[in-house]
Amino acid sequence: MTLDDPRIARLLTLIRAALRPPAGAGRIALALTLGTLCHAVFALGVLAMIVAMFFGLSESLGHVPWPWALLANAALIVQFPLTHSALLTGPGGRFLARLIPGPHAQTLATTTYATIASVQLLALFTLWTPTGIVWWRAEGAMFWAISAAYAASWLILLKASFDAGAEVQSGALGWMSLLARKRPVFPDMPTQGLFRLIRQPIYVAFALTLWTPPVWTPDQLALAISFTAYCLLAPRLKERRFATRYGPRFSQYRRTVPYAVPRLTHPKDQPDAQ
């Protein structure tokens, strides 16, 4: 991987442009404010998820009395995939383009989307009401082995997000483009890195994080089953958008690269890296 790699070159171009913003105090202030908010909430949401699942959702701040906690927890699970997917539809995109008052809502759409998703994750993993039941807790060498697998799952997710376009996945594309006063440039159809092995590495890596914590509870099992189903089904909607946007290129990619499970052999007609 070199500086000529499009994943890095695109990000560096965006950063350089953002470091030399054209004049406009109001625009600059808006970009920096929403960028700071986005990345702060993003970091908190991811940290809350990592910590909460490491303990099998046995520790959280929710205190809804039972049996109402069952409904509250179910609502917390459902709100993320439903909203996350709805905002990726045509009406959802138009909603994001109008959410921020003023002329910059369209440019800031990716930042707004990442912020909303981060708030959803933060709510899920901080407001969850634990059952108080712990089925199994890894100990000794098993604890370290499973913890290593958990950490590896998160590293795979990080790599997949980078391969898909770090500036989009983190929400930086919107506010940095506004800061540079330029139209957001989205990554091309991802085919590099982990996308050479499977078409949906982000969703697969996300599912792996759900099944590798060292503590298992009814809470973690409910979350793992629900979100794994989402990780297997939601990309179908994404692939419909890709088929419309990229046409024959995506059809060829879909024929040669498996959906979620890598092939043991490397097909000769697999698409070259971008």
Residue 141 in this model has a pLDDT that exceeds 90: yes
Percent of the chain with pLDDT over 70: 95
d(CA 110, CA 185): 11
Q: What are phi and psi of 3, to 5 degrees?
A: -65, -15
- pTM for the model: 0.88
d(CA 259, CA 236): 10
pLDDT of residue 5: 75
Residue 158 in this model has a pLDDT that exceeds 90: yes
Q: Which two tokens stand for residue 117?
A: 């998703």
Predicted confidence band at 266 (pLDDT cuts at 50, 70, 90)? low
pLDDT of residue 8: 86
The 3-state secondary structure of the chain reads: CCCCCHHHHHHHHHHHHHHCCCCCHHHHHHHHHHHHHHHHHHHHHHHHHHHHHHCCCCCCCCCCCCCHHHHHHHHHHHHHHHHHHHCCCHHHHHHHHHHCCCCCCCCCHHHHHHHHHHHHHHHHHHHCCCCCCCCEECCHHHHHHHHHHHHHHHHHHHHHHHHHHHHHHCCHHHHHHHHHCCCCCCCCCCCCHHHHCCCCHHHHHHHHHHCCCCEECHHHHHHHHHHHHHHHHHHHHHHHHHHHHHCHHHHHHHHHCCCCCCCCCCCCCCCCCC
- Give, in order, the Cα–Cα distances in Å from 131 to each of 92, 105, 141, 163, 218: 34, 41, 27, 37, 7
- Calculate the average pLDDT of the chain: 90
Residue 272 in this model has a pLDDT that exceeds 50: no
Q: Which two tokens stand for residue 239?
A: 């692939």
Residue 258 in this model has a pLDDT that exceeds 90: yes
Q: pLDDT tens digits, residue range 72-129? A: 999 999 999 999 888 888 888 888 888 888 889 899 999 999 999 999 999 999 999 9
